[in-house]
A and B are shown apart, each in its own frame.
Chain A
Amino acid sequence: MSRWISILWLAFLFSIPLWMIDLYVLHILINTGIFVIAAMSLNLLLGYTGQLSLGHVAFFGIGAYVSALVSLGFDLELTDTYTFVFDAKPVWIAFLSGIIAAGLFGWLIGRVAFKVRGAYFVIVTISFAEVVRLVSLNWIDLTEGPMALNNIQPFTLGIPNLWEMTLYQKIPNYYLVLVVAIVCYILIRRLVHSRIGRAMIGLRENEPLATSVGVNVTHYLVIATVISAAMAGAAGGLYTHYFRIIDPDIFLFIYTVTMVIMVVSGGKGTLAGPIVGGIIFGLLPEILREFAAPEMQWIIYGIAMILIVFFLPDGIVPALKNWWKNHRSKRTDSAEMDAGT
């Protein structure tokens, strides 16, 4: 049953550009898709492993900036006489570099931040992200600071000398984001249904019990962080080469908050949660844009988050699953009653 739903859903997603004439809607979908990937990556760390990492936007931004810088090339005046010159590289190399850089940074955070736990861990993660933001804002030689990096090249796909396509237009970008999202989904699903995923869930559910059966806490926390960071870096790379301009605002804490809202409202620790949450909170600004000032949108987000924590603490997807389960058992109950059992 659920297999059919997945297939239908995928078919629907792939079909959208064929009938959606309004390119602006496609643009929204691409933007939402990028956020969904970021939300899925956060879900791995926040939802499955249970770590309140609130610096996630740093991984996204590092992926974006590294990919941009590698594809644009840059030079750095290291001393009065020596300037380090980095030549521009093809976009796909830049994209991979962004992922690797984000993953490395994730490894670093993992090793350092997990020395403390609980609320202190939260603060360390926020601090790391803020430091990264301030560095990107102030290290103008490298990042152009608030003047932004622009004229970033779009993705170029294909096999050199045989066939190439440069993704200037929305439709191919949509498919690219969709494919990356599907790949990320599959990776997370594989992870979750393996002993690695079980170790992470064990750490979240009952850490002492997990260690008593041999789960190495630091090792798995770091693995979760690295994969989560790399995936967020991929989302950042997609962002960079689609929007083709980035500035330090990409590191703002408010984007981490958006991702957290997506994961928590959708359902942390579920595969579908970040997708549902991502779609709702990705599309919501567009719907609200007609009626409400940006501040009003954020107020609605804040209230939504409070309401969800109070009434649907596990998120929308688990609540729906429960409702479906109850609904079905009620139907069988009433069917039995009718049959006189």
Chain B
Amino acid sequence: MKTVKSDMSEVLLNVENIAISFGGLVAISDLSFNVHKGEIVSLIGPNGAGKTTAFNIITGFLKPNSGSITYRDKSLTGLAAHQVAKYGVVRTFQKTSVFDGNTVIENIMMGLHLNGRCKVWEVLLGLPRVSIENTRLEERALEILDLVGLSNRASDMASDLAYGELRLLEVAIALAAEPALLLLDEPASGMNPSETASFMKTVSKIRDEGTTILLVEHDMRMVMGISDRVVVLNQGEIIASGTPKEIQNNPKVIHAYLGYGDEDA
């Protein structure tokens, strides 16, 4: 049901031998995988496997003890989070994270930060290009809201949104930053089946518009239904990688999720 893109050969993100420990606890021992342009890749694994930590490292919120992250040809290792975003790698957060005190459209405008060009002195002098830019950004914000299906909530306060709408808003804010690579951290958690189904369509749309997607998700329907590839993380390292079908039948993966032994199978 998914078309395999022909330019999938270009490696967008290359994660090599990432390792990180907290105190004496090894969170990630050896993480290596890559993501090709145009793919939807899911990173799955039991709780505590280190998936969000991996996201934090890739996007600059945490520094790894060793290993490297390369995006296109540039090294992301050790860069600050805002610099990673500038390169076009944007993430969402596991715990719902929006700008509570602002309206929905203001939230998107804030996500459009990198899209703007006006400098401080231009703003202070009240030059016409500032209001021109504001108008342009507002139009762009409405486009994004349209894409995720939140247009009707544009002027509502973010705090008034239902849970499912908030998760959509989160994705919309990330989209505003125009990522070439979008990292979604459990975006469907807490969604009911119909919300999840419609969200899956939205994610596909986003990929079709040209954004590569790396997904951390527990909802197996979504993972299996939407991913081109699945990468399985367990106890700090990758134990399997392949198409959803291959992963479903992989004994190592089954062990990891169900525990040792086939007595339960």
Interface of A with B (CB < 8 Å)?
186-187, 190-191, 193-199, 201-202, 205-206, 208-217, 223, 227
Does A214 contact B133, Cβ atoms closer than 8 Å? Answer: no
Does A206 contact B97, Cβ atoms closer than 8 Å? Answer: yes
Q: Is B8 an interface residue (CB 8 A)?
A: no
Does A187 contact B124, Cβ atoms closer than 8 Å? Answer: yes
* Contact pick for A201, options B81, B102, B173, CB 8 Å: B102
Closest to A189 in B: B126
Does A211 contact B82, Cβ atoms closer than 8 Å? Answer: yes
Does A195 contact B98, Cβ atoms closer than 8 Å? Answer: no
Interface of B with A (CB < 8 Å)?
59, 61, 80-83, 85-86, 90-93, 97-102, 106, 109-114, 116, 118, 120, 123-124, 126, 130, 133-134, 137, 173-174, 176-177
Does A213 contact B130, Cβ atoms closer than 8 Å? Answer: no
Instruction: Say how far A66's CB is from chain B's closest CB, in angstroms.
Output: 21
Does B120 contact A196, Cβ atoms closer than 8 Å? Answer: yes
Instruction: Say how far A173's CB is from chain B's closest CB, in angstroms.
Output: 25
Does A216 contact B82, Cβ atoms closer than 8 Å? Answer: yes
Alpha-carbon separation in the docked complex, A198 to B114 (Å): 11
* Contact pick for B100, options A205, A210, A214, CB 8 Å: A205
Contacting residues, chain B, for A187 (C-beta < 8 A): 124
Does B174 contact A214, Cβ atoms closer than 8 Å? Answer: no
Instruction: Say how far A234's CB is from chain B's closest CB, in angstroms.
Output: 13
Closest to A213 in B: B177
Contacting residues, chain B, for A227 (C-beta < 8 A): 120, 124
Does B90 contact A195, Cβ atoms closer than 8 Å? Answer: no
Does A214 contact B110, Cβ atoms closer than 8 Å? Answer: no
Contacting residues, chain B, for A196 (C-beta < 8 A): 118, 120, 123
Closest to A226 in B: B120
* Contact pick for B97, options A195, A209, A214, A215, CB 8 Å: A209
Does A209 contact B93, Cβ atoms closer than 8 Å? Answer: yes
Does A214 contact B134, Cβ atoms closer than 8 Å? Answer: no
Does A190 contact B90, Cβ atoms closer than 8 Å? Answer: no
Given known A191-B123, A194-B118, A205-B102, contact A213–B90 (CB-CB < 8 A) = yes
Does A202 contact B113, Cβ atoms closer than 8 Å? Answer: yes
Does B113 contact A199, Cβ atoms closer than 8 Å? Answer: yes
Contacting residues, chain B, for A201 (C-beta < 8 A): 99, 102, 110
Alpha-carbon separation in the docked complex, A208 to B56 (Å): 11
* Contact pick for A193, options B61, B81, B114, B134, CB 8 Å: B134
Alpha-carbon separation in the docked complex, A212 to B126 (Å): 28
Does A190 contact B102, Cβ atoms closer than 8 Å? Answer: no
Given known A196-B118, A202-B113, contact A208–B93 (CB-CB < 8 A) = yes
Does B111 contact A213, Cβ atoms closer than 8 Å? Answer: yes
Contacting residues, chain B, for A186 (C-beta < 8 A): 126
Does A214 contact B114, Cβ atoms closer than 8 Å? Answer: yes
Does A190 contact B110, Cβ atoms closer than 8 Å? Answer: no
Closest to A217 in B: B82
Given known A213-B110, A214-B177, A215-B113, contact A195–B59 (CB-CB < 8 A) = no
Instruction: Say how far A205's CB is from chain B's closest CB, in angstroms.
Output: 4
Alpha-carbon separation in the docked complex, A186 to B130 (Å): 14
Closest to B114 in A: A214
Closest to B133 in A: A195
Contacting residues, chain B, for A209 (C-beta < 8 A): 93, 97-99, 173
Contacting residues, chain B, for A193 (C-beta < 8 A): 134
* 16 pairs, A vs B, C-beta closer than 8 Å: A191-B124, A195-B112, A196-B118, A205-B99, A205-B100, A205-B101, A211-B85, A212-B59, A212-B61, A212-B91, A213-B113, A213-B114, A214-B86, A214-B113, A214-B177, A227-B120
Closest to A211 in B: B81
Most buried by B among A186, A212, A215: A212
Instruction: Say how far A106's CB is from chain B's closest CB, in angstroms.
Output: 13
Closest to A197 in B: B123
Contacting residues, chain A, for B126 (C-beta < 8 A): 186, 190
Query: Which 6 pairs from chain A and chain B are nearest by CB?
Result: A195-B116, A214-B85, A213-B177, A214-B114, A211-B81, A194-B123
Does B120 contact A213, Cβ atoms closer than 8 Å? Answer: no
Alpha-carbon separation in the docked complex, A206 to B91 (Å): 14
Alpha-carbon separation in the docked complex, A206 to B159 (Å): 14
Alpha-carbon separation in the docked complex, A205 to B100 (Å): 7
Does B134 contact A194, Cβ atoms closer than 8 Å? Answer: yes
Alpha-carbon separation in the docked complex, A114 to B264 (Å): 55
Contacting residues, chain B, for A208 (C-beta < 8 A): 61, 81, 93, 97
Alpha-carbon separation in the docked complex, A119 to B56 (Å): 25
Instruction: Say how far B190's CB is from chain A's closest CB, in angstroms.
Output: 18
Given known A201-B110, A214-B177, contact A206–B99 (CB-CB < 8 A) = yes
Instruction: Say how far A336's CB is from chain B's closest CB, in angstroms.
Output: 22
